[in-house]
Amino acid sequence: MNDNPSLTPLWADPNRVNDPWLQSRIGRVTMTPAGPSTAGDYAELTLVYTAGYFGIDDTGAVRVVTRFATDMGRPQFSDPAAPNYVSVEASNGAQLELRFDMKGHVRPWDRTIGIRVLQGFMREGDTLTIRLGDRREGSPGMRMQTFSEPDFRLKLFVDPIATGIFTEVPSSPRVDIAAGPPAVWKAIVPTGLRPGDPFRLSLKAEDRWGNPAPAPARVLGLAASAAIGGLPDTIAWPDGEPTLVVDGLTASAPGDLTVTLADEAGEILAESNPLRVQPAPPLLPYWGDLHGQSEETIGTSSALTYFRFARDRAFLDVVGHQGNDFQITREFYDELNRLTREFHAPGRFITLPGYEWSGNTGLGGDRNVYFADENRAIHRSSHALVTDQRDLDSDCNSAAELFRRLAAHDAVVNAHVGGRYADVTIAHDGRIERSMEIHSAWGTFEWLLHDALDMGYRVGVVCNSDDHKGRPGASYPGASTFGAYGGLTCLLLPELTRAAAIDCLRRRHHYGTTGNRMVLDVRARFDRSAELFDEDPALGPTGSRMVTETMMGDIVRCPGGAVTLAVRALGSAPIERVELRRGREVLETYRPYAAPRDSRRVRVIWEGAEYRGRGRQTIWDGTAAVHGNDIVSMREINFWNPDKSIARDGDNLVWQALTTGNFGGFDLVLRDPAAGRIAVATGHATLNLAIAEIGAEPVVCDAGGLARRLSAVRLPEQLDRRAVEFERVVPRALTGDSAFYVAIVQEDGYQAWSSPIYVIP
């Protein structure tokens, strides 16, 4: 009788990782150095795998894998003097084949260095020495991941019998990835308050990759643009802390204000987002990131750490955790529900229970599901990575099935674009699916809203992070396939409670941004009474009332007369433009400045994506040259990855850049406003323009792909209008709904979108 345990792959049987019999048969691994590394820095890690009893047979293999979320440097095996060089040596001289595959193992452990024994074999005790970032011939090392993680793991899997069945080597190496020194400071205040309401100022230091960075002890100065009760002139920053909160503040007078943080010499380190104090607003703005994941699915760090970061490091008011359903075990779902209960604190910080329905695109694509309370049934898109199949009959493999099941729940759904994208043209239920997520760390996806409007759906706009790096609410893209800073959703609520948040999502009373906290109010006014519906009348009988004004997200019927769109916005930076839109159509582009005919400032922008799916990245590496003029200064726009930047040599620029539906670019200030030419060349489009011909309307070169283009425009040398307020009489569509909304672009590259107001036939 053979009483030896079978070699079941450990990703299917994780309880065997510490099995002594397995340890002796599969082998072991050690790593040096064992000490911490700094996020984004170069390091050399040496792994020594010692073969177990089975050894490794001819054509057997070892895999060194990291999580999907990591943005560790891409391994290469050909240039020992270049970054990220990896070498592997067999102690017995066996010939090895090395390769790297981004999806070479089982999700979420899919970043894979494959080491195959091509000629020869290995016996028990033979070793493989694996040097990640081998520095012996000049390589600077392996670029470590850009986000801090106290328990970064490398896993080894071995196929000792050359069957294609890989089993985890016990005791995976671990290393602490620590934040670097402070490079950027942030100051956060509420966006809206009533006079006398208490509030707090939240301060944070971040390293160059966006990690909360422990700062040394120092005395910093505080100042406000208007009177704030309780605000000290200075604060003592505690040694080694990345954040500091100043509580007990009040603003008694209506108006707008900001707070600045300064160093010991008086240099400004940070200016807060704007705070608008109003006498009696019926709704107040609260900021949420409703979408991200932790290490229990495809993200990084635990769900507990995720909620703590959202509350204590990103200073959010609302948070949701949206793990991939096909990876959420029963045990983890119970833990998620426990955490949303534990962290839920009405009036201070609220949580939204739920999950991400992660169906294949052809079956409807990704949806974010939110519940009004805990312990609601999870209807998975599949059990792809869940081995316990006792609840298989509760699965909903298509989005249409999901909507039918959710009709029995107190639930709200948002359509989402990530790896998979939501296809709302093949599945949508207006009773449940209320908004389109048009921005996240994956990029910007206005096309998703356009799809919904084309189909006649009445939906709102949300923006979230879909964070995978343990930083909900402050999600930097790092150096991976994520191309943008994560978004935020501003929920307009009568009170900070879960019930109010769910009602807000249903009513579409919210707007989204690309991560900035701006004040935005969009209203439609009517010169005769209009019927405001409590619910979309297309869904069935509903209550209504007569009004002459509505807010973003509302659905209203007006038999005739003029519709006036009233816009009030207060940016976290000067506002570059506001687009008034009706569906896809831009009715007007409002620029809060006069035509800059004599300005010396030229802005060059690249934007768009390859297509809708996972391979949407567009590489915009390129050059620019100014002839017959001189560059006085240059400033980057939306360069989120410090590895990709612009190098200037006199009047010539060279850069590396990418977009995933969002935009990036640069500003130039020239010596002369009209002399010479500028030539811009990228792999997708080129511009060669006389500088005198560049005006306030962009010169655009279409670059194919998905809304992909290269453009140049002239801006004033100084933009100083952060607050804009204007009204426009807007024409209705000849047929169907008129979906009126605004899209705003700030000078610094941040954006915002209001949820549409639907004026229906």
- Return the percentage of the chain with pLDDT > 90, whole number: 92
CA–CA dist 349, 353 (Å, integer) = 13
Confidence of residue 685 (pLDDT cuts 50, 70, 90): very high
Its CATH class, for the domain covering 519-593+722-761, is mainly beta
Q: What is the pLDDT of residue 25?
A: 85
pLDDT, tens digit (0-9, with 9 covering 90-100), for 343-368: 999 999 999 999 999 999 999 999 99
Residues 6 or more apart whose CB falls under 8 angstroms from that of 132 comprise 44, 45, 46, 47, 64, 75, 86, 142
Residue 405 CA to chain centroid, in angstroms? 29
CA proximity to 414, closest of 368, 456, 373, 451: 368
First-to-final CA distance of the chain: 79
Only one residue has tokens 């209705």, namely: 732
Measure the CA angle with vertex 494, ends 549 and 556; round to 5°: 25
Within 465-584, strands assigned E span 488-493, 510-513, 519-533, 544-551, 555-557, 563-570, 575-582
CA–CA dist 197, 192 (Å, integer) = 10
The order of strands in the sheet holding 184-188 is 184-188, 198-206, 243-250
Q: Is the pLDDT of residue 341 over 50?
A: yes
Q: What is the pLDDT of residue 595?
A: 86
CA distances from 396 to 377, 378, 406, 424 (A): 12, 9, 10, 16
CA–CA dist 330, 313 (Å, integer) = 29
DSSP β-bridge partners for residue 215 = 241
Only one residue has tokens 């691994």, namely: 29
CA–CA dist 73, 584 (Å, integer) = 40
Which pairs from 183-188 meet CB under 8 Å and 24+ separation? 183/207, 183/208, 183/213, 184/208, 184/210, 184/270, 185/261, 185/269, 185/270, 186/270, 187/259, 187/260, 187/261, 187/270, 187/271, 187/272, 187/273, 188/272, 188/273, 188/315, 188/517
Q: What is the pLDDT of residue 3?
A: 40
pLDDT, tens digit (0-9, with 9 covering 90-100), for 605-620: 999 999 999 889 999 9
Domain 14-178 CATH (choose: 2.60.40.680, 3.30.70.3270, 2.60.40.1840, 3.40.1190.20):
2.60.40.680
Is there a contact between 591 and 576 (Cβ–Cβ < 8 Å)? Answer: yes
- DSSP-derived 3-state class of residue 345: strand
Q: Buried b vs exposed e over 655-678: b needs ≥16 C-beta within 10 Å?
A: bebbbbbbbbbbbbbbeebeebbb
Of 87-96, 168-177, 324-333, 577-586, where does mean pLDDT reach its minimum?
168-177
User: How large is the average pLDDT for residues 560-589?
Assistant: 96
Amino acid at the residue 109? W
Q: Is the pLDDT of residue 204 over 80?
A: yes
CA–CA dist 423, 500 (Å, integer) = 28
Confidence of residue 412 (pLDDT cuts 50, 70, 90): very high
CA–CA dist 484, 751 (Å, integer) = 12
Give CATH for domain 595-715: 2.60.40
CA proximity to 370, closest of 382, 357, 359, 381: 357
Q: What is the pLDDT of residue 278?
A: 96
Measured N-to-C along each axis, helices 303-312 and 330-343 cross at an angle, to the nearest 10 degrees, of: 20
Domain 285-515 CATH (choose: 3.30.540.10, 3.40.50.2000, 3.20.20.140, 3.30.200.20):
3.20.20.140
User: How large is the average pLDDT for residues 30-57?
Assistant: 94
Q: What is the pLDDT of residue 8?
A: 45
Q: What is the pLDDT of residue 761?
A: 87
Using omega within 30 degrees of 0 as the cis cutoff, is the peptide bond preceding 596 cis? no
- DSSP-derived 3-state class of residue 392: helix
Is there a contact between 30 and 48 (Cβ–Cβ < 8 Å)? Answer: yes
CA–CA dist 308, 314 (Å, integer) = 9
CA–CA dist 63, 116 (Å, integer) = 9
- DSSP-derived 3-state class of residue 498: helix
Q: Is the pLDDT of residue 16 over 80?
A: no
Q: What is the pLDDT of residue 114?
A: 97
pLDDT, tens digit (0-9, with 9 covering 90-100), for 102-140: 999 999 999 999 999 999 999 999 999 999 999 999 999
CA proximity to 525, closest of 569, 494, 556: 556
pTM attached to this predicted model:
0.94
- CATH 2.60.40.10 residue ranges of the chain are 184-277, 519-593+722-761
CA–CA dist 136, 60 (Å, integer) = 28
- CATH 3.20.20.140 residue ranges of the chain are 285-515
CA proximity to 64, closest of 88, 84, 33, 93: 88
Q: What is the pLDDT of residue 34?
A: 82
Residues 6 or more apart whose CB falls under 8 angstroms from that of 657 comprise 606, 619, 620, 621, 622, 639, 644, 664
pLDDT, tens digit (0-9, with 9 covering 90-100), for 451-461: 999 999 999 99
CA–CA dist 417, 439 (Å, integer) = 8
Q: What is the pLDDT of residue 561?
A: 82
Q: Is the pLDDT of residue 261 over 90?
A: yes
CA–CA dist 737, 558 (Å, integer) = 11
Q: Is the pLDDT of residue 5 over 50?
A: no
Give CATH for domain 184-277: 2.60.40.10
Per DSSP, the chain holds a count of helices (H) and strands (E) of 6, 57
Q: Is the pLDDT of residue 24 over 80?
A: no
Of 24-28, 406-410, 425-429, 520-524, where does mean pLDDT reach its minimum?
24-28
User: How large is the average pLDDT for residues 584-602?
Assistant: 95
Q: What is the DSSP letter of 393?
A: G
Confidence of residue 18 (pLDDT cuts 50, 70, 90): low
What are the DSSP calls for 193-220, one per residue?
E-TT-EEEEEEEEE-TTS-B--B--EEE
- DSSP-derived 3-state class of residue 558: coil
Q: Is the pLDDT of residue 413 over 90?
A: yes
Q: Is the pLDDT of residue 2 over 80?
A: no
Can you read off the two tokens belonging to residue 729?
Answer: 């009489």
CA–CA dist 468, 74 (Å, integer) = 18
CA distances from 602 to 162, 528, 599, 634, 652 (A): 61, 45, 8, 10, 15
Confidence of residue 171 (pLDDT cuts 50, 70, 90): confident
CA proximity to 640, closest of 446, 500, 442, 506: 442
Residues 6 or more apart whose CB falls under 8 angstroms from that of 390 comprise none
Can you read off the two tokens belonging to residue 299?
Answer: 């993200």
Q: What is the pLDDT of residue 15?
A: 52
Amino acid at the residue 693? E
pLDDT, tens digit (0-9, with 9 covering 90-100), for 470-507: 999 999 999 877 889 999 999 999 999 999 999 999 99
